[in-house]
Amino acid sequence: MNGRLCALTFALLASTAFAADLTPTGHWSGNTSGAAMTPPMGWSSWNTFATNISEERVLGVAAALKSTGLAAKGYRYVNMDDGWWAKRRMPDGRMQIRADQFPSAAIGGAEGTSFKPFTDKIHAMGLKAGIYSDLGRNSCSQAYPSPDGFLPKGTVEEREIGLYGHIRQDITTYMHDWGFDYIKIDGCGLRDYGPNNPRVTSGNFRALDPLIYGWNINAANVAGVSGLYSEVGEALKTAKPNGDFLFSICVWGAADVRSWAKDVGNISRTSDDLGPIWARMLHNFDSASRRAFYAHPGSWNDPDMLYVGYGEFDENHITEAQSHFALWAITNAPLILGNDVSKMPKPLLDIVSNQDIIAINQDKEGNQAVLAYDADNVQIFVKTLAGGKKAVAIFNRGVAPAEVDLTAQQMKLAEDGDITLTNLWTKQQTKIKKETKFQVAPRQTLIFTAEGAHQLKNGTYLSEMPGRVNPAVDGITTRQADPYIFRFQTWGSTRGNGAHPQYAGWGGAQADYTPFGQTMAVGGKFYETGVGVLANSRLEVRNNGATTFSADVGVDDSTLDTSRPVTFAVYGDGKLLAKSAPKAYGEKAEPLTAAVKGVKIIELVASNAGAANVQPTVVTWGNAALTK
């Protein structure tokens, strides 16, 4: 094929691919399998015990979850992380457990060892049991052994305890035979065992061509990683046909996981590991907090397990511990404790037992909080709860006290009505109108529920219901790292040349902002609310019983590409309901309305003439709302 022909074929293929992606399906494509209609709550062994886990230790924590009352508050998963495996038995490949540490596993017979007696004990306590694996041949602890760590023993092959080449076999063993309810699947095996790696050249491990290269977002084999995780998802559905499983994806924000985990897993890590360090908490929180549209009932952003109880979140740092917990709760993060619950000081226990804050996290509408005010020192997050109340977090990230205005507008509540704020730490109630002021101490998070008439009288803005919006196609064609994520020195070291933006997602669909963090504006008119997204996108919206969809649509004034007009279309259960004229840059927005009575899935498609976004075209669905 000559060069021109090749280029033409590629252009045709590219445009065909786009047309296909934007074709409305009438379906919700976000993951709803598994048992995660609200974020999971529980405990994991990693932050306290690392690989030094045992039956006695894990059951001790399970008992403590009961005796402290935490289990009754919803902390029900008891998860073993890395370190439980003895070896993969040859030649049948059946996994064997470290029976020296888990005595009840030594059942003998054909199986050799089994976790069934262990999960039976957990279940008898009314709790759920979690296990851990890796998607490569080897694990994270084999790549980064801790000094007192326990590692699988035996030949190279026997030490290959990861899922690679054994997905069906292992998932069946763990989830069906052994009866686990939760599985976390790590990704070190897909990253750290390349042919030139010293741990491989030494002969200790077999090479696996990496699918993930550090945090290089362009070198990662995204289809390879998502394909393997999807295989796990399918195996889980077979092993647990009743759907009682939780699938935790752990590739730390790499492999463009933001774009696909919402369709595959129940929770997905958005960043590298959290540590007991304030600045690290900022890093992990930021990796999840601007992704409200990328979470929904069934699939949540996971900024990692809670570090309450350690370092800058211990009993001498109550303000920090409260912030960490409140921020995780309002972001719909999993509430997975990591400390030794049996030794938990009362003030910390009180924080993670706060029923009102837990209720915000577990609210069944599943709307992750949206950024209502954003600055490096102060942020305000607002989450719409079932029934229409709001939850509000005012977060002072900085080192100086901050005077903060909280407005009805930020909460999307009516400016002329009474608003009742209930402080969820003190339970104190205040009535306000239009706006109020707070003094917020350094590192403090104030968290409230707010009750008042809605700004939009007869409906809901789409940015108030991100749990019902799925960016099935978000128009990103060039992966870029999110520069807004706090860049904390990696692993406490300053060797090398510094921390850099490392997680793809910049340019993704945003509630009330453009994809690049600007105020939305079309033809000179500003929009305080709406959906900001790139052209060549398709958003799926689960209708909430509304009869009308409406938005002012147009190319955003902040667009990078100003040359190509965009057409906006609204579909209801796969059928075209409304379509705009092609909207050019600088043109005023066009009001678009569609009758959606009885429609289940509304799809919002914004498309450019031509192929992919060479330079992104930023579009705005201003004031996008569902009304009755």
- Positions touching ligand GLA (CB under 6 A) are 46, 81-82, 140-141, 186, 250, 252, 273
Q: Which is nearer to ligand GLA, 38 or 138 (CB)?
A: 138
Total H helices, total E strands in the chain: 15, 31
Q: How many residues does the chain have?
A: 628
Question: Judged by CB, which is closer to ligand GLA: 45, or 463?
Answer: 45
Least distance (Å) from ligand GLA to the CB of residue 187? 8
Provide the CA 5 distance to its chain's centre, in angstroms. 42
Q: Cβ of 500: how many Cβ atoms within 10 Å?
A: 11
Using the minimum distance from each CB to ligand GLA, give the nearer residue, 82 or 474. 82
Shortest Cβ distance from residue 81 to ligand GLA (Å)? Answer: 5
User: Judged by CB, which is closer to ligand GLA: 46, or 549?
Assistant: 46
Looking at the Cβ atoms of 81 and 540, the one nearer to ligand GLA is 81
d(CA 274, CA 490): 11
Query: Measured from the CB of residue 293, what is the shortest distance to ligand GLA in angstroms?
Result: 24
Question: What minimum distance in Å lies between the beta carbon of 223 and ligand GLA?
Answer: 22
Q: What are the DSSP E strand ranges found in 135-293?
A: 182-186, 246-250, 267-269
Contact 575, 530 (CB under 8 A): no
Beta strands in 503-547 (DSSP E): 510-511, 520-522, 525-527, 530-534, 537-542
Instruction: Please state the closest distance from residue 306 (CB atom) to ligand GLA, in A.
Output: 12
Is 313 or 568 the residue whose CB approaches ligand GLA more closely?
Answer: 313
Q: How far apart are CA 309 and CA 460, in angstroms?
A: 39
Please state, in angstroms and as integers, the Cα–Cα distance from residue 38 to each residue in 43, 332, 570, following that order: 16, 8, 29
Distance in Å, CB of 161 to ligand GLA, minimum? 12
Lookup: tokens for 380? 């305000």
Among all residues, whose Cβ is closest to ligand GLA?
Answer: 140
Instruction: Pick between residue 10 and residue 144 the one whose CB is nearest to ligand GLA.
Output: 144
DSSP letters, 450-463, are: EE--BSSTTEEEGG
Smallest separation (angstroms) from ligand GLA to the CB of 246: 15
DSSP summary character for residue 410: H
**CB-based contacts of 201, cutoff 8 Å, min separation 6:** 195
Tokens at 206, concatenated? 């077999």
CB-nearer residue toward ligand GLA: 143 or 349: 143
Shortest CB 170 distance to ligand GLA, Å = 17
* Whole-angstrom distance, CA of residue 129 vs CA of residue 105: 15
CA distances from 130 to 229, 256, 417 (A): 18, 26, 47
Looking at beta carbons only, is 140 or 419 nearer to ligand GLA? Answer: 140
Name the minimum Å distance from CB 622 to ligand GLA: 40
Across 251-389, the runs of DSSP E, i.e. the strands, are 267-269, 300-302, 335-337, 370-374, 378-384
Residue with smaller CB distance to ligand GLA, 46 or 77: 46
Instruction: Give least dist CB 142 to ligand GLA, A.
Output: 9
Which CB atom, from 130 or from 554, has the smaller least distance to ligand GLA?
130
Distance CA 564, CA 534 (A): 12
Q: State the nearest-atom distance from the C-beta of 265 to ligand GLA, in Å.
A: 14
* β-pairing verdict for 267-269 and 300-302: parallel
Contact 276, 526 (CB under 8 A): no
CA distance 484 to 468: 25
DSSP letter (8 states) at residue 417: S
Per-residue DSSP letter, 345: -
